Structure 1
């Protein structure tokens, strides 16, 4: 387990604090500390590396029984690099170069560095990582090398209104990727509706307008950054064979740090990045960024942790950065976490299958735009209610010996699609609609005490064997042929598929699929023999009614209608057109609703939509036991060396009843305290 704090980001904290602070970490029950290795602080002159501060800190960590995570930061580039390669700066599509300077989170400046599509820059970045790894290869205190702090297209945190990167090297890399993807210029022209006569005519799209080129450009960057990460990982492995290699995401990218979407704008995809490393992590600042109410930011934190769990697959993940003190929206920090915040965020991490919590950060930041925020401790190094609760949680969860635990997949799943997200980005950067739809479905399950997990399109092929039985597909307007085939195959094997409106209306290239001989929604055609499909904009909440006119559900944005030759229509729009239908498909079933209930939960607070969503899932949640009653409780199952353990989290201030029954017949009935959790060892075996 990894419990501890980020400590050193040069030049802070001051050396006079080090011994005092490391002793206090040990006394709190922490056993890891994270240290930043910033490129411009270490390689101050070409090929001259200075590790003095990190060496002293690693030695001090060893004396206090603390293990060390070294986080390499090439994004704090040395200024001699800029002087040597001024043409390698990041560049917008309009030709504006992003010059190096000091951002909010990097006191030594040099941000955002230079673009790694330039081979000479890539080699120097990887050499810095290699030399750092090599320096600590035989240091037993150093257990993990984190090769990329929050991987994304680096300038995008500060330049969200720009389209990047369009430097010469990135343009060449984009064209090379397109050549592999399409094989010929003729095939690209057909896909993009263009008439290019030479590959050199292709440039990144300069504005939002056509979907096909924008989706491809952003798709290229997702895979391109995964390639950058692979190079960094290889450099670290060469330098320190046997050390664990890590990266950690700034958020669950399908949600973004503030649940407004990040995949298309920040260009980071945890389902690609986690494949390259041994250990994966997540940064979270719930009280600062994730919601206005405690319930919202606690739930958002759990949601993001569970997406990261799904991306990590069989690999360990943990909370690599967790808000330790005040968030910083402007001068003078605010929104300081309380002890119950720290407690719930720890329980969220454990319930999601995480292997610990490392706080950002131990001491308050003394300078720059992050000051005076984020400190777990006070200005003079004194403990706070936050640090004391962090230490209590570290000791509590260490005692449970969950270091080898694995989440047991719930039978209910929420579908995630790269294509669905990228289409909404291409439609004028509207990713928040997709993120809000996902949140609304997840929130509905949490309020109903229904265990659920996330299922990404990349891993849909194995979902049935991994125990999935219900798949809810929110706002997936763009789906590849392969995605649709796998979803239908899952239903045919016995699964229940619930499709929100217009699922698969667009291909993965952002083109409506109808060609005069087929339906514009292939999955609806396969299940319902659907014809005459239309899509109309709605005004406000869109009710779906039963035969007596009572509201069954509500949605937002659009209403999709169709004529179904097969299946049963069981809901109607106010004008009497079909709005809801279900159909047996193979051994399973497909359900359709012609609007967006997930969005209605998030953006309109619709109770009717939440209740509809809850009814689509199997309330019991797991094959090993049934959740019979768990109002507003989070119930998850972990497989440990000592058998299955039920993790129950109560994110509300009042105690809540839990009633569950194991497969053996044993029943659990207890009250879960407010703002707390419990771990229950089950009798049920495999």
Structure 2
């Protein structure tokens, strides 16, 4: 299905006097669904007694108005009867703070964050709440999905970002069990951590940053533990309602962070691990509130990452900013109708199945008041709700879009959990890795070259992925298996492009002194690493034309070996870019961090140094893709063109977020499917263009341009 609607009910708001009016308006807006919170302390106010009266009435109203329902279970709002009074059952920070039950900004009924879910007794109670909620709605045909975890992360971390969690006795004990399973013996752990523990009871998680081996294991444990918690919730929902799909949605791409500062090692929301455990996946986004003035690009970036994490499963924008965010007393910037339209089309362009807004009505109480409302205080429509209606009606009317998936993109940016966690272990420097990911992606984006992400978890799928160029930003960790698969990728015709220090460290954080990846993939020998002054810009020049480009932070000094050709040099003549041709492909090495430089400094030459290796048309199905637009924008924006497919149809999606006129021209590689057919369109201003191509006839259906 296509999901267009809003989060509506978070008890006790809105009051029942608004329900009929609001559901009538949702139907008139062309919405297809509504999301309702089932908060544990509201549903089970007395242990063992579950009351769903308000949710039942809302579900009945949804059916009456033709809306499907997503039930979002919220065990983080725990009943106060679950509080044992034992401080050891609460979440605990590294410096010993206990997180008592209270009311966060987004939970009026409080009880947050409950007891640590490593407390098995508490876990059983939370699971029973989810199971009973699912069972209650098991035969309700209006319920399309049960969302078992709202923005999964280590729950109190958003309020304790400069600290670490959880160090309660329950989590410490589970960490020891995980280590015993991983290492098998205390001696093996001592060897891996360089310790002299005499018993398992002496083993403790790292309370501070310093050594890497223990911190890497502490983070890997928590990513495993978060997935274990999700699996518990999914199992509970399926016990209660075996036939209802289960979903979850992340607050943002953990590996990117809202403002490209990362978050995987800190908040522990690993979209690639979490998406595996559910039927439907999704994303929360508050672009104009949390992503800065580049929010249109960054929202597209996050959407592309979540599309990759979903890995073929249905995904959609489960929460999309509907009104002002809350950086201040009375709210922040209010999104425009144009913002709403562009965010919707970002989701569609990467294969998503719609947008559900946070939230329908303004918040009436607490720190989030009076923010986030798609409508006005009295339920009246706003330019935002009208734009949401236009998107819903237009997009649900496009044939085949519900079943369309992203066509295989030839260009990809490699995503490494291992490299990200290493940067975190090095005193919270995840932002360096996230910046590289965005910089590499944006180098293609600025020229409207289609590009995707490709995650290390799926390295074995690389040969059949359709990827022709794979870019590795800051690839500090590469396993022997990754090196072997990447080598095969090159030999069969791929272009591998890596930044400095590929495989410098092993997965356990130990320096790889032989620099095996550097030699095996690029035929280079490591000589040394040099920091740039104040970790700033590093200049290099192409030998072909003496044109400069820039890297940042460091440069790796190497000795080229047999077959390695130098393409660019640093100021002192040392190799800055090399190419090694192997089999039918090539392996290109940059001796600095070019993607980081482009993301932070926006030098066009650096973007071109990256983008020159990508396939311009982006798809094997296309022979040619040409996108032209006007002068560069102060805020980096570019037209987006993406190709979607079903078993029998192509769908070409193009949108122009810039202020300048745009021309789009696409030609397919198999003209017999489109006789004498060359597609072209011109956009005079910020319109969105949609084209549907039907291979059987070669006919093009152009949907009307619509203003935001």
With structure 1 as the length reference, what TM-score do the two structures score? 0.97
* Post-superposition CA distance 1:234-278 (Å, at most 9, x none): 000000110010000000111112221010000111111111101
Moved more, 248-257 or 81-90: 81-90
The answer to whether the 8 A contact 1:662-1:684 is kept is: no
Change (3 A) 1:496 1:351: same
- What residue in structure 1 maps to residue 590 of structure 2? 593
User: What SS does the aligned partner of 1:477 have?
Assistant: coil
Moved more, 300-309 or 76-85: 76-85
- 2 CA distance for matches of 1:605 and 1:611? 11
The answer to whether the 8 A contact 2:483-2:521 is kept is: no
* Post-superposition CA distance 1:496-537 (Å, at most 9, x none): 1000011211111111100xxx2x3x2211134322431111
Q: How far apart are 1:627 and its partner, in Å?
A: 4.0
- 2 CA distance for matches of 1:287 and 1:532? 44
- What residue in structure 1 maps to residue 73 of structure 2? 72
Q: How does 1:589-668 map to 2 (within 5 A)?
A: 589-631=586-628, 632-640=638-646, 642-665=648-671, 666-668=677-679
The answer to whether the 8 A contact 1:343-1:676 is kept is: no
- What residue in structure 1 maps to residue 151 of structure 2? 150
Over 4 Å off, 4+ runs: 683-686
The answer to whether the 8 A contact 1:499-1:592 is kept is: yes
- Residue 461 in 1 paired to residue 455 in 2? no
- Residue 28 in 1 paired to residue 29 in 2? yes
The answer to whether the 8 A contact 1:664-1:684 is kept is: no
Q: How far apart are 1:609 and its partner, in Å?
A: 0.7
Work out which of the residue numbers 535, 546, 550 in structure 2 matches 1:550: 546
- What residue in structure 1 maps to residue 89 of structure 2? 88
The answer to whether the 8 A contact 2:527-2:557 is kept is: yes
Q: How far apart are 1:409 and its partner, in Å?
A: 1.8
Q: How far apart are 1:139 and its partner, in Å?
A: 1.2
The answer to whether the 8 A contact 2:648-2:694 is kept is: no
- 2 CA distance for matches of 1:627 and 1:674? 24
Moved more, 627-636 or 53-62: 627-636
Q: How far apart are 1:548 and its partner, in Å?
A: 7.8
Q: How far apart are 1:643 and its partner, in Å?
A: 0.7
- 1 CA distance for matches of 2:74 and 2:241? 17
User: What SS does the aligned partner of 2:233 have?
Assistant: helix
- 1 CA distance for matches of 2:213 and 2:549? 34
- What residue in structure 1 maps to residue 518 of structure 2? 524
- 1 CA distance for matches of 2:86 and 2:466? 52
- What residue in structure 2 maps to residue 269 of structure 1? 270
- 2 CA distance for matches of 1:468 and 1:389? 36
The answer to whether the 8 A contact 1:343-1:675 is kept is: no
- 1 CA distance for matches of 2:643 and 2:326? 35
The answer to whether the 8 A contact 1:449-1:633 is kept is: yes
- 2 CA distance for matches of 1:673 and 1:310? 32
- 2 CA distance for matches of 1:65 and 1:176? 50
- What residue in structure 1 maps to residue 511 of structure 2? 512
- 2 CA distance for matches of 1:677 and 1:417? 34
- What residue in structure 2 maps to residue 303 of structure 1? 301
Q: How far apart are 1:173 and its partner, in Å?
A: 1.1
- 2 CA distance for matches of 1:411 and 1:679? 22
Q: How far apart are 1:552 and its partner, in Å?
A: 3.7
Moved more, 44-53 or 523-532: 523-532
Moved more, 558-567 or 474-483: 474-483
Q: How does 1:382-531 map to 2 (within 5 A)?
A: 382-401=380-399, 402-514=401-513, 518=514, 520=515, 522-531=516-525
Work out which of the residue numbers 530, 536, 542 in structure 2 matches 1:536: 530
* Post-superposition CA distance 1:154-181 (Å, at most 9, x none): 0001100111111111111111111222
Q: How far apart are 1:440 and its partner, in Å?
A: 0.9
User: What SS does the aligned partner of 2:125 have?
Assistant: helix
The answer to whether the 8 A contact 2:137-2:241 is kept is: yes
Moved more, 408-417 or 639-648: 639-648
With structure 2 as the length reference, what TM-score do the two structures score? 0.94
Q: How many correspondences in the alignment?
A: 678
Moved more, 595-604 or 645-654: 645-654
Moved more, 316-325 or 546-555: 546-555
- Residue 320 in 1 paired to residue 318 in 2? yes
Q: Which runs of 5+ in 2 are unaligned?
A: 629-637, 672-676, 699-708
The answer to whether the 8 A contact 2:91-2:167 is kept is: yes
- 1 CA distance for matches of 2:623 and 2:201? 60
- 2 CA distance for matches of 1:189 and 1:488? 34
Change (3 A) 1:532 1:351: closer
Change (3 A) 1:545 1:303: same
- 1 CA distance for matches of 2:168 and 2:114? 13
- 2 CA distance for matches of 1:464 and 1:679? 32
- 2 CA distance for matches of 1:386 and 1:511? 52
Q: How far apart are 1:478 and its partner, in Å?
A: 2.0
- What residue in structure 1 maps to residue 704 of structure 2? none
Q: How does 1:169-208 map to 2 (within 5 A)?
A: 169-208=170-209
* Post-superposition CA distance 1:383-439 (Å, at most 9, x none): 000000101100101011311111112010100000011011111111111111111
- Could you say what the CA RMSD is over the residues aligned between the two structures, in angstroms? 1.5
- What residue in structure 2 maps to residue 369 of structure 1? 367
Q: How does 1:210-229 map to 2 (within 5 A)?
A: 210-229=211-230
User: What SS does the aligned partner of 1:398 have?
Assistant: helix
